[in-house]
A = this chain, B = another copy of it.
């Protein structure tokens, strides 16, 4: 035990992780450089490689530290619901996904901006983040997929895949909104909304997309009419197009 020096080193580690988290939250994986991280942390450039080996390993540790508790809690909650006996309905399963996220969002131990971190992770396009997500979420995704399948027996499995993809994408899109707070302010129309009601509203938005019946004849009719209208227009006017539009020089 390097008694006093050891604390110093741990402090440096913490500062590196904090700086990396903060920068990742509002710049994403691309746009996150070791020079910026170490500058914000007030350490030398080499500190990351010394303490973590390389950049990606540090990010991986950061993400695990932040996100693992979320999925553990989601699984525990789902277990608790199913242990109660009856199969949970669609809205309950969505609640199981959302409630732990919101609770960790309120918990300072989970990070200063947990929900924004979550949004970044869900929507970041870099292969590194994608891989990490897929690796850590595959088992939990399977569990929830099965739960949804039981709750929605009338939806074919293939269609269910699309719908979940769809619903989760929309959710991550909302979470990744650049300033979440402004959005919540909009939602609450000025006055504070209890988390409970806010979550209920989110569930109310996502749930119909999962439970909705397939396209009805009335809907098909509307689309068909629009298609004809649009094709008619293209034939009528668009064929005077094809100017190659070679524009100005530099």
A residues near B, CB below 8 A? 10, 13, 28, 30, 49-50, 52-53, 61, 65, 73, 76-77, 80-81, 91-92, 95-96, 98-100, 103, 123-126, 156, 158-159, 161-163, 165-167, 169-170, 172-174, 177, 183, 186-187, 189, 195-197, 199-201, 203-209, 212-216, 219-220, 222-224, 226-227, 229-231, 233-234, 244-247, 250
Contacts and interface: CB of A to CB of B under 8 A. Distances in A.
Contacts of A73: 230, 233-234
Contacts of A209: 170, 205-206, 208-209
26 contacts: A10-B246, A52-B250, A77-B233, A81-B229, A96-B226, A103-B227, A123-B125, A158-B186, A158-B189, A162-B183, A166-B170, A170-B173, A170-B209, A173-B173, A196-B223, A196-B224, A196-B227, A199-B223, A200-B220, A201-B214, A203-B223, A204-B212, A204-B215, A206-B209, A208-B208, A208-B212
A177 B204 contact: no
A169 B166 contact: no
A169 B159 contact: no
Copies of this chain present: 2
A26 to B, nearest CB: 12
